[in-house]
């Protein structure tokens, strides 16, 4: 017979670590002042460590503590982070505590990520979509330790995460059921939590944080910064896409373009007679620019990836719209939200930094490795989808008896970005970044074959109607303005594309440019949004410009 095998080696190792740290713990609870010692005792060199830090919610106390551990004791960690948002997320690589990184998004730290790759202080495993990264936690990136954040914890270790549950469940479960160590920072220790979001028997260690976890109002956009050009584009989108395709379910990416659409629904959408006919169901963060559409009766349901600062009271007062528990707070879920965005929606509308002549888009540019976030999940045509909706069927080819519908994937951009550089380019910067960062694939956010529409201030390209790459390129050129790509446009070809409905300029849609003024917005500023909410919306301090 073969030598007896220990089939519980992970469990044995976990228990040995926890037993060794018992002098620093009272049951599951450690003291705030001992956090560094606890991490040094429970994290071993070379461990795979998940640090919660998604778009908004940050396990900021634990990330700061991790950055303080002794690199002689803890080093060469393989970090797994959905979002690289805080300076210490990268400090740990410069200090030798960590060496390898798998991530999804690095917006606030994207320039520094690029620099660190160039100087060799950071090795990238892969850049993922959120859902892809979560999935790998259950396959080949099973964590040894996870560091997460909670609003409250009770004496049994049950966690309450309130409006900002976000990615906590998927991270914790991956560790708790494969003998990883779950370490939680808690804003508050209470006798009884309002609801149990994570059961206490999934939790190994709780450390009260020295201050509440960081939460960013990432999806909040002030209406006063929406331009008339963005209003024009929003008008074209509402009439030429939302109304044309009878879109019922949608996800909006973050940006002023989509904020303009939200604020035009109760005004311009009403003028078009579209109320009750489009977008009753949403998968989106609870952005304050949705408030007028909610109050006007446009929206029936909103499920959210995460919460948004200042929206808590409003959400609690609108349980018919939001997913609200008996405790009165919303339950968000980033993993389920990504899954809904991939399989359950009619349409995704987002923006990007660059679009090439073929229609591929990316937010990765020279000196900026920002990653993807969830856009590729939202902006893909999932081959596994089988249910049908009118919008989905509206893109079904007529000449194929086995043909199927397609999700509407809309890229909405001005032809020149805020940096005064052209958005439309012959070749994406991402091609060069792939070589510089030694990535296996070019970091394209949304591929050409998935992109069905592009909207600019010039008009709409209905790319799904094209029957060749040459025709697709011509349609993109027609709405690319005075960028190098757009300057190649042939007026005769554009006229033909317009006649066949492949390109639509504002006048083709019956959209008057002179009507695209700020007076059309349902809210002109943040104070208007507060008024629309009946005083329930409480904007973050940086958005308050009134007394």
Say if domain 11-215 classifies as CATH 1.10.10.1800.
Answer: no
Helix (H, G, I), strand (E, B) or coil at 354: strand
> Of 444, 422, 448, 419, whose CA–CA distance to 431 is shortest?
444
Please, what is the Cα angle at 306 between 56 and 314, to 5 degrees? 105
Q: What is the 3-state secondary structure (H, E, C) of 296-315?
A: CCCCCEEECCCCCCCCHHHH
Distance CA(448)–CA(460), nearest Å, equals 15
* Domain locations along the chain: 11-215, 223-526
Matching CATH topology for 11-215 and 223-526?
Answer: yes
- 3-state secondary structure (DSSP) of residue 460: strand
Phi, psi of 350 (to 5 degrees): -140, -175
pLDDT tens-place values along the chain, 547 residues long: 567 889 999 999 999 999 999 999 999 999 999 999 999 999 999 999 999 988 789 999 999 999 999 999 999 999 999 999 999 999 999 999 999 999 999 978 888 998 898 888 899 999 999 999 999 999 999 999 999 999 999 999 999 999 999 999 999 999 999 999 999 999 999 999 999 999 999 999 999 999 999 888 888 999 999 999 999 999 999 999 999 999 999 999 989 999 999 999 999 999 999 999 999 999 999 999 999 999 999 999 999 999 999 999 999 999 999 999 999 999 999 999 999 999 999 999 999 999 999 999 999 888 888 888 889 999 999 989 999 999 999 999 888 888 889 999 999 999 998 888 999 999 999 999 888 888 888 999 999 999 999 999 999 999 999 999 999 999 999 999 999 999 999 999 999 999 999 999 999 999 999 999 999 999 999 999 999 999 999 999 888 875 4
Count other Cβ atoms within 10 Å, centred on residue 339: 15
CATH for the 223-526 domain, from 3.40.50, 3.40.1080, 1.10.10, 3.30.450: 3.40.1080
User: Could you give the CA distance from residue 110 to residue 520 in angstroms, rounded to a whole number?
Assistant: 36
Query: Distance between CA 489 and CA 475 in Å, rounded?
Result: 9
With b for 16 or more beta-carbon neighbours within 10 A and e for fewer, the 419-434 pattern comes to eeebbbbeebbbeebb
> DSSP 3-state assignment of 247?
coil
């Amino acid at each position: 017979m073969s030598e007896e095998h220990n089939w519980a080696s992970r469990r044995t190792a976990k228990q040995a670590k926890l037993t060794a740290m018992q002098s620093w713990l009272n049951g599951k609870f450690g003291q705030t002042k001992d956090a560094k010692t606890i991490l040094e005792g429970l994290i071993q060199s070379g461990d795979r460590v998940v640090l919660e830090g998604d778009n908004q919610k940050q396990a900021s106390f634990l990330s700061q503590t991790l950055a303080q551990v002794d690199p002689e004791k803890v080093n060469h960690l393989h970090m797994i982070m959905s979002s690289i948002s805080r300076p210490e997320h990268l400090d740990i690589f410069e200090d030798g505590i960590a060496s390898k990184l798998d991530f999804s998004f690095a917006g606030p730290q994207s320039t520094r990520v690029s620099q660190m790759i160039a100087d060799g202080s950071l090795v990238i495993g892969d850049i993922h979509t959120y859902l892809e990264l979560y999935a790998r936690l259950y396959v080949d990136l099973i964590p040894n330790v996870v560091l997460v954040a909670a609003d409250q914890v009770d004496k049994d270790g049950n966690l309450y995460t309130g409006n900002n549950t976000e990615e906590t469940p998927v991270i914790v479960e991956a560790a708790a059921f494969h003998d990883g160590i779950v370490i939680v920072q808690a804003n508050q220790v209470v006798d009884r939590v309002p609801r149990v979001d994570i059961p206490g028997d999934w939790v190994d260690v709780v450390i009260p944080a020295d201050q509440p976890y960081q939460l960013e109002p990432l999806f909040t956009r002030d209406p006063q910064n929406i331009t008339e050009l963005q209003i024009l584009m929003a008008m074209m989108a509402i009439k030429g896409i939302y109304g044309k395709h009878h879109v019922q379910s949608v996800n909006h990416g973050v940006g002023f373009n989509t904020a303009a659409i939200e604020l035009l629904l109760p005004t311009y959408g009403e003028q078009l007679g579209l109320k009750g006919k489009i977008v009753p169901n949403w998968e989106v963060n609870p952005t304050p620019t949705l408030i007028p559409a909610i109050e006007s009766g446009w929206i029936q349901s909103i499920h959210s990836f995460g919460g948004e600062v200042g929206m808590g009271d409003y959400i609690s007062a609108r349980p018919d719209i939001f997913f609200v528990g008996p405790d009165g707070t919303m339950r968000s879920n980033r993993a389920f939200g990504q899954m809904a965005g991939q399989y359950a929606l009619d349409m995704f509308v987002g923006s990007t930094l660059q679009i090439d002549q073929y229609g591929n888009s990316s937010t990765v540019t020279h000196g900026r490795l920002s990653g993807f976030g969830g856009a590729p999940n939202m902006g893909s045509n999932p081959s596994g989808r089988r249910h049908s909706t009118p919008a989905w069927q509206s893109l079904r080819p007529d000449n194929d008896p086995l043909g199927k519908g397609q999700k509407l994937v809309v890229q909405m951009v001005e032809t020149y970005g805020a940096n005064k550089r052209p958005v439309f380019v012959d070749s994406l910067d991402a091609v060069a970044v792939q070589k510089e960062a030694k990535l296996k694939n070019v970091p394209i956010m949304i591929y050409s074959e998935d992109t069905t529409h592009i909207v600019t201030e010039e008009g709409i390209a209905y790319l799904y109607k094209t029957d060749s790459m040459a025709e697709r390129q011509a349609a993109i050129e027609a709405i690319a303005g005075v960028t190098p790509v757009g300057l190649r446009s042939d007026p005769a070809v554009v006229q033909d594309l317009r006649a066949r409905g492949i390109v639509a300029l504002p006048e083709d849609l019956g959209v008057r440019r002179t009507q695209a003024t700020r007076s059309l917005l349902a809210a002109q500023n943040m104070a208007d949004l507060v008024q629309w909410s009946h005083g329930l919306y409480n904007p973050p301090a940086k958005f308050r410009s009134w007394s």
